[in-house]
Structure 1
């Protein structure tokens, strides 16, 4: 029996991403505002407004084009699957995720995000980022496979290899009346039969 005392919990260490991501976003926003202020002082507010509007329009066009390409690829894959053909392999570096990210960065107001978005539109840069992101994802997946969640699933598969769920109820023998009268049938329940 527990006395109701709180159990001690181990202090979990905060991940570096959760610590530094808010600081990086705040620094990015401050840098964007500072750069917009510099351009406004040098060229005027109308120029800043035109740059922001141009970035929004260009980003919308890029996202729309990448979305159409993704929908076209999806519909081609469905047509091939309906015809019983294996899907054709697409060359790497033609993915739409980085193109859509570039469009999103162009839509965000700011000069630095526009420069990063324009860099993501250059095919060699996009391919390099795609390779780096792929390697990072592979490392994360490999680390997650060796983690505790994967071990828990493996243990569950060991105990129930067929994955069947058995309906039933839990019978506890730690009640006082069953300990006092072991020969009593009041708490007895027969086991479930298949």
Structure 2
């Protein structure tokens, strides 16, 4: 996955330059530059507008003393589309428009949900570890257990906690902590 991200960060700018040169040859340099500038301005305006909406909702929630509502997927998609429009390039503009247009948003949302579900499933399988049937039960996990134990139960140590609190008559056991029975 990391390799694909690195490849994307290297390939996308190269593809953007190639597409921009081709479009510049087809329609002219100044119209191509004007389209790129218009996309950047539109994207910046969308991000600013959605950011203001989110900030206003947060302030209203804090003033009324309630928890803010979780962001709607549509709002996040609109911000993502605006960011993609603000990035100079025709390919990112096309993808940004797919995030913004009402008739393409359900398709993008479904593809994103499938990708996230598959990614979560892969991460859960990785953390499960061999022979431990539950996610988050692998040896690398902070929730992991002792090898060979499926339920996470280990030896039980019985004892009592003695706290030496100021003003109590518990005695002078401040150095002992847990004592066995």
Shorter-chain TM-score: which interval? 0.5 to 0.7
Q: What is aligned with 1:24?
A: 8
Q: What is aligned with 2:166?
A: none
The number of equivalent residue pairs is 145
Q: What is aligned with 1:13?
A: none
C-alpha distance in structure 2 between counterparts of 1:36 and 1:135, whole Å: 31
C-alpha distance in structure 2 between counterparts of 1:160 and 1:79, whole Å: 50
CA drift at 1:142: 4.0
Counterparts in 2 of 1:122 and 1:109: CA distance versus 1, 3 Å: same
Q: What is aligned with 1:150?
A: 136
Q: Which has the higher helix share?
A: 1
Counterparts of residues 172-183 of structure 1 (less than 5 Å): none
Of 104, 119, 122, the match for 2:83: 104
Counterparts of residues 30-179 of structure 1 (less than 5 Å): 30-79=14-63, 82=65, 93-94=73-74, 96-146=75-125, 147=127, 148=129, 150-151=136-137, 152-155=141-144
Unaligned runs of at least 5 residues, structure 2: 130-134, 146-151, 162-174
C-alpha distance in structure 1 between counterparts of 2:61 and 2:106, whole Å: 23
Q: Normalization by structure 1: what TM-score?
A: 0.59
RMSD: 3.4
C-alpha distance in structure 2 between counterparts of 1:138 and 1:88, whole Å: 23
Greater relative contact order (CA < 8 Å, ≥ 6 in sequence): 1
CA drift at 1:57: 0.6
Misfit runs of 4+, over 6 Å? 86-90
Q: Say which one has the larger Rg.
A: 1
Q: Normalization by structure 2: what TM-score?
A: 0.63
Counterparts in 2 of 1:93 and 1:22: CA distance versus 1, 3 Å: closer
